[in-house]
A and B are shown apart, each in its own frame.
Chain A
Amino acid sequence: MNNIATKQTTRHRAPLGQASWLKSKYRLFLMAAPFLALAFVFSYLPLYGWIYSFFDYRPGIPLKDSEFMGFYWFTSMFSNAVRRQEIIRVLTNTFAMSGLSLLSSVLPVAFAIFLTEIRSTFFKRIVQTLTTLPNFISWVLVYSFAFMLFSVDNGFLNNLLMGLGWIDRPLNILASDSNTWLAMTLWGIWKTLGWSAIMYIAAIAGIDQELYEAARVDGAGRFRLMWHVTVPGIMPTFFVLLLLSIANFINNGFEQFYVFQNAINLARIEVLDLYVYNIGMMNSNFSFSTAVSLLKSIVSIVLLFVANSLSRLFRGESII
Chain B
Amino acid sequence: MGKRERLNAFQLFNYGWFVLFTLICVFPFYYLFINTISNNDLSSRGLVLFYPLDIHLTNYANVFKLPGLGLAAVVSLSRTVIGTALTVFSSAFLGYLFTKNEMWGRKFWYRFLIITMYFNAGLIPWYLTMLNLGLVNNFLVYILPAIVSPFFIILVKTFIESTPAALQESAQIDGAGYWVIFTKIILPLSMPILATISIFAAVGQWNSFTDTLFLVTNQKLFSLQFILYRYMNEATSLAQLMRQTSGAVNIDLTNMATPTSIRTTVSMVVVTPILLVYPFFQRFFVKGIMIGAVKG
Are A24 and B122 in contact (CB-based, < 8 A)?
A: no
Are A133 and B26 in contact (CB-based, < 8 A)?
A: yes
Docked complex: A106-130 residues within 8 A CB-CB of B: 114-115, 117-119, 123, 126-127, 129-130
Are A198 and B15 in contact (CB-based, < 8 A)?
A: no
| Segment at the interface with B among A26-34, A75-83, A92-100 | A26-34
| Segment at the interface with A among B56-64, B113-121, B246-254 | B113-121
Are B125 and A138 in contact (CB-based, < 8 A)?
A: no
Residue in A28, A247, A300 whose CB lies within 8 Å of B103: A28
Docked complex: B161-180 residues within 8 A CB-CB of A: 161, 165, 169, 172-173, 178
Are B122 and A276 in contact (CB-based, < 8 A)?
A: yes
Docked complex: B102-136 residues within 8 A CB-CB of A: 102-106, 109, 112-114, 116, 118-129, 133
Are B102 and A25 in contact (CB-based, < 8 A)?
A: yes
Are A158 and B46 in contact (CB-based, < 8 A)?
A: yes
Docked complex: A289-320 residues within 8 A CB-CB of B: 289-290, 292-294, 296-297, 300-301, 304, 319-320
Given A52-B124, A133-B29, 20 more A-B residue pairs with CB atoms under 8 Å apart are: A12-B101, A25-B104, A28-B102, A32-B97, A41-B133, A129-B279, A130-B26, A131-B21, A137-B274, A139-B209, A140-B270, A155-B46, A156-B46, A199-B293, A255-B209, A286-B124, A289-B124, A293-B120, A293-B121, A297-B119
Secondary structure type dominating chain B contacts: helix
A297 to B120, CA, bound (A): 7
Please give, as numbers and ranges, the residues of chain A lying within 8 Å of B127 by CB-CB distance. Answer: 280-281
Q: Does B65 make an interface contact (CB < 8 A)?
A: no
| Segment at the interface with A among B67-75, B185-193, B237-245, B282-290 | B282-290
Chain A residues at the B interface, C-beta cutoff of 8 Å: 1, 4-6, 8-9, 11-13, 15, 21, 24-29, 31-32, 35-36, 38-39, 41-50, 52, 114-115, 117-119, 123, 126-127, 129-134, 136-141, 143-145, 147-149, 153-156, 158-160, 163, 190, 193-194, 198-199, 201-202, 222, 237, 240, 244, 247, 254-255, 258-259, 273, 276-277, 280-281, 286, 289-290, 292-294, 296-297, 300-301, 304, 319-320
A127 to B24, CA, bound (A): 11
How near does chain A come to B25, taking the closest CB pair, in angstroms? Answer: 5
Please give, as numbers and ranges, the residues of chain B lying within 8 Å of A5 by CB-CB distance. Answer: 101
Quick one: closest B residue to A27, CB to CB?
B178
* Contact string against A for B residues 1-20, beta-carbon threshold 8 Å, 1 for contact and 0 otherwise: 00001000011001101100
Say yes or no: A29-B105 contact (C-beta < 8 A), given A35-B148, A149-B28, A254-B210.
yes
Quick one: closest B residue to A153, CB to CB?
B46
Say yes or no: A115-B18 contact (C-beta < 8 A), given A25-B103, A31-B97, A199-B293.
yes
How near does chain A come to B287, taking the closest CB pair, in angstroms? Answer: 9
How near does chain A come to B52, taking the closest CB pair, in angstroms? Answer: 14
Are A8 and B26 in contact (CB-based, < 8 A)?
A: no
Say yes or no: A49-B15 contact (C-beta < 8 A), given A133-B29, A141-B270, A160-B49.
no
Say yes or no: A276-B118 contact (C-beta < 8 A), given A39-B112, A149-B31, A190-B24.
no
Please give, as numbers and ranges, the residues of chain A lying within 8 Å of B206 by CB-CB distance. Answer: 138
How near does chain B come to A261, taking the closest CB pair, in angstroms? Answer: 12
Q: Does B44 make an interface contact (CB < 8 A)?
A: yes
* Contact string against A for B residues 64-103, beta-carbon threshold 8 Å, 1 for contact and 0 otherwise: 0000000000000000000000000010011001111111
What are 17 residue pairs bridging A and B, where the CB atoms are less than 8 Å apart in the complex?
A1-B161, A1-B295, A21-B102, A28-B104, A29-B109, A39-B112, A48-B125, A52-B125, A127-B22, A133-B29, A134-B25, A140-B232, A154-B45, A198-B286, A199-B293, A254-B210, A297-B122
A155 to B220, CA, bound (A): 33
Please give, as numbers and ranges, the residues of chain A lying within 8 Å of B24 by CB-CB distance. Answer: 190
A131 to B285, CA, bound (A): 13
